[in-house]
Structure 1
């Protein structure tokens, strides 16, 4: 008698997909370090072109290219897509530049504080109420930024710009009723003219990455799949995993980035960094506990409503 193989539940598959996505994002500094000798703007241009090729190929196979045209033919949506394109382009460029400049530690800080920036955006834009514990978490994160500013005698502008640009990007995506693959395809399509201009200028000057060797060109070519795969995995996970679980898994991304910076790239990690990161980690622990409490309360309320609806006392 043979055992019947167990099939993973949708929730388990979603968690694995989220871990896969965040692992690719978190280890991506190692990938982009391979092209640190290429100007960041040119790496971004290649990432844009090859992402468009990859996403366009997926949508073409699915027969969904018409959805991209439909999204871009609608005036209000096109405006939001253009703003989203600006935000994600800024975010990608700064991340690529930070890795090449040996400032991956600060980029990881940006993705650590991103959830707390999203909380502030939710409060300001949507008027979402914050619990006392969430305010404490935001205050601790703000204190960490102030400490780094004082200690390093310069604000952590890379971290702040990465967090704010992606926070605004997430806000726009929340307003757009467009699927993630379709919207990103439209966003990189809007970036394409600038990307082609950059590549043509680099070629004209004779310093294009097209002549930098097979390894460099190979890394740039697969930047499309490296961009697309985690997005597809994360979109799959988002439909199957509770938001609290998804939010916790997302911390894997900056943790791996931080590990790459300190243990692989040997970037400086001063006492000021230690204190600031400690405050951020404490803030995230408080925030995560608050989210778990909210999730449990919502599930209890749903169970109570279901019981009440059946007339059981």
Structure 2
């Protein structure tokens, strides 16, 4: 009975993280008048402002200092910081340029790319269902590639940047809060320098309008809260459960793209998404079957 409250908290944290990530296009829609580069810079600055008090409250200052003074860990977090910054820039650009479907497809692909990275770089083995899922998703990407448009490179760039970010964070010997704090601290000087330059050239939106300024300050919470909820869920839930929850975000983005943002689905996109969803269904079904077999054994 003692495990039940923890599982419920973990489930609530996981659902909360992926729902917030799924609704991110709505936030970016409200700050559509702001340049994507400024949005990312504001996210970094206000994330630091939010994270530093959390580090002090959680008494993780020692872990942050250890990460900053360990060359190998610092190099890994510098790489992950660059990847997540690139991911943010690409994602904001996608939303602002009416490419929410491309962003949605990226995060449908992400679990399958993680499988490929595990096989290629970590020596993990694929079960039959996982191999079939990768083949189906690859076919979906191939269908989209026939169009050779913006959607393909954008989806792959977003998916690959986040997948390699996750790989580095998996390998880096640092906890979620400390690692995220170090990443944002590394990005903060660049972000502040860019904002200073932007202000000097009269191009900064921050401070021009009260409502827009408040939304940009909120970027810190929009960035940090789902990442921390995800970390809590990862500690409390099985990976199979977490993998199932992972599809909440792109599903919400897909619905928003064709409803709120008015994007259209042509036959090629429908076929591409259909193949990717089929791959995801095979992947999930294979995981559930393997888990049932383990329990039976």
2:226 counterpart residue number: 230
Which runs of structure 1 show a deviation greater than 6 angstroms over 4 or more consecutive aligned residues? none
Alpha-carbon offset, residue 12 of structure 1: 2.1
* Residue correspondences, number: 295
Contact 1:21 1:234 (C-alpha < 8 Å) held by counterparts: yes
- 1:1-313 aligned at under 5 Å gives the runs 9-151=5-147, 153=149, 156-301=152-297
Specify the SS of the correspondent of 2:259.
helix
The residue matched to 2:34 in structure 1 has which SS?
A: coil
C-alpha spacing 1:8/1:133, structure 2 compared with 1 (3 Å): closer
Structure 2 CA distance for partners of 1:154 and 1:229, relative to 1, 3 Å: closer
- How far residue 32 of structure 1 moved from its aligned partner, in angstroms, is 1.1
CA displacement at 1:8 relative to structure 2: 6.0
Q: Distance in 1 between matches of 2:294 and 2:67?
A: 35
Structure 1 residues 55 and 142, CA gap change in structure 2 (3 angstroms) = same
Q: Deviations over 1:70-100 (max 9, x none)?
A: 1010011111011111111111111111111
What CA distance in whole angstroms lies between the structure 1 residues aligned with 2:105 and 2:31? 22
Contact 2:81 2:187 (C-alpha < 8 Å) held by counterparts: yes
SS in 1 for 2:206: helix
Q: 1:132, CA displacement in angstroms?
A: 2.0
Distance between the aligned counterparts of 2:237 and 2:229, measured in 1? 12
Q: Which runs of 5+ in 1 are unaligned?
A: 1-6, 302-313
Query: Are the equivalent residues in 2 in contact too, given 1:114–1:163 (CA < 8 A)?
Result: yes
Q: Give RMSD over aligned pairs.
A: 1.5
Q: Deviations over 1:264-297 (max 9, x none)?
A: 1111221111111111110000000111122223
User: Which range moves more in the overlay, 23-32 or 207-216?
Assistant: 207-216
1:154 CA drift (Å): 5.4
8 Å CA contact retained: 2:94, 2:103: yes
Structure 2 regions of 5+ residues with no counterpart?
none
Q: Using the alignment, how far apart are the partners of 2:53 and 2:150 within structure 1?
A: 44
| Whole-angstrom distance in 2 between the partners of 1:246 and 1:62 | 24
Q: Secondary structure at the match of 1:236?
A: helix
Give per-residue Cα distances to partners, 1:121-159, cap 9 Å, x unaligned. Answer: 000001111122211111111111111121355561111
Cα distance between partner residues in 2 of 1:39 and 1:130: 42
Residues 148 and 154, structure 1, Cα contact 8 Å, conserved in 2: no
Deviates more, 1:196-205 or 1:114-123: 196-205
The answer as to whether partners of 1:80 and 1:176 remain within 8 angstroms in 2 is yes
